[in-house]
Amino acid sequence: MTSRPPRPRERGIPEATVARLPVYLRALQTLQDRGTATVSSEGLAGAAGVNSAKLRKDLSHLGSYGTRGVGYEVEYLIYQISRELGLTQDWSVAIVGIGNLGRALANYGGFGTRGFRIAALLDADPEVVGRTVASLNVRHIDSLEEVVRSKGVSIGVIATPGGSAQGVASRFVEAGVTSILNFAPVVLNVPDGVDVRKVDLSIELQILAFHAQRRADGDGHAHRSGLEVT
């Protein structure tokens, strides 16, 4: 089935690995900025805050890019991870809901370090539409379909209040956007084949509160093992 000797990478990278690749990438870029040319799994794992065996196994899913006895060449590994993550191409992002959060996102410079370009901002409020935010003209939400088409938007960011989020998501999907990042605190319903990720501040706080309470409760010797030490 698969050719044995020249197998650079197999299909199907574990989801847990995918979620860590961006972390490795950032650690590598920091190393590169410092002029480091080569790094061992131990060194990179330290910088990324993970176990070195886990890091090696993660990287092994992309291929065999290390040199035994030496380590990994920083620049080459950056390239390989970038390619795997799809960062060698450009992604057009549209943000809907230019309120407190939307504005912060729009003004956020170091967006994805590379690859992601904010192509459009949309809102429903006549007060906001027409204003310029982060050198972009805020368009009306009614032109979403047109904007997605003309700007080739492939990733939609939702920063509207919860009540509007599902509607916006549906319109994104309708317009052909299959990657959505949702900041609104609601569960989005989308058809199969559409990828939704959510960022939820209040969930994170609640998880922190749970652990904090546990520590206070049982007190004394304290905490179960689940504490992040990142």
Ligand X SMILES: NC(=O)c1ccc[n+]([C@@H]2O[C@H](COP(=O)([O-])OP(=O)(O)OC[C@H]3O[C@@H](n4cnc5c(N)ncnc54)[C@H](O)[C@@H]3O)[C@@H](O)[C@H]2O)c1
Give me the residues that bind DNA (CB under 7 A), please. 14-17, 40-42, 50-54, 56-57, 59-60, 64-72, 225
Residue 27's binding partner, choosing from a copy of itself, DNA, ligand X, none, with beta-carbon cut-off 5 to 8 A by kind?
a copy of itself
Q: Which residues contact 23 (CB under 8 A, 6 or more apart)?
A: 48, 49, 50
> Does 58 participate in binding a copy of itself (rule CB under 8 A)?
no
> Does 228 participate in binding a copy of itself (rule CB under 8 A)?
yes
> Does 19 participate in binding a copy of itself (rule CB under 8 A)?
yes
Residue 43: CB minimum distance to a copy of itself, A: 13
> Does 85 participate in binding a copy of itself (rule CB under 8 A)?
yes
> Does 135 participate in binding a copy of itself (rule CB under 8 A)?
no
Query: 116-123 and 132-133 as β-strands: parallel, antiparallel, unpaired?
Result: unpaired
Residue 68: CB minimum distance to a copy of itself, A: 26
Q: Look at residue 73 and give its three-state secondary structure.
A: strand
Residue 79 DSSP code: H
Strands in 71-73's sheet, in edge-to-edge order, are 38-39, 71-73, 66-67
66: enclosing H helix or E strand: strand 66-67
> Among 89, 120, 126, 153, which residue interacts with a copy of itself (rule: CB under 8 A)?
89
Residue 19 near residue 36 (C-beta atoms within 8 A): no
Residue 60's binding partner, choosing from a copy of itself, ligand X, DNA, none, with beta-carbon cut-off 5 to 8 A by kind?
DNA
Burial 176-206 (b: 16+ CB within 10 A, else e): ebebbbbbbebebebeeebebebeeeeeeee
Dihedral over Cα of 90, 122, 22, 18: its sign: negative
> Among 24, 183, 188, 196, which residue interacts with ligand X (rule: CB under 6 A)?
183
Residue 174's binding partner, choosing from a copy of itself, ligand X, DNA, none, with beta-carbon cut-off 5 to 8 A by kind?
none
Residue 97: CB minimum distance to DNA, A: 29
| Chain residues that interact with ligand X, rule: CB under 6 A | 96-102, 104-105, 108, 110, 122-125, 128, 141, 159-162, 164, 167-168, 183-185, 201
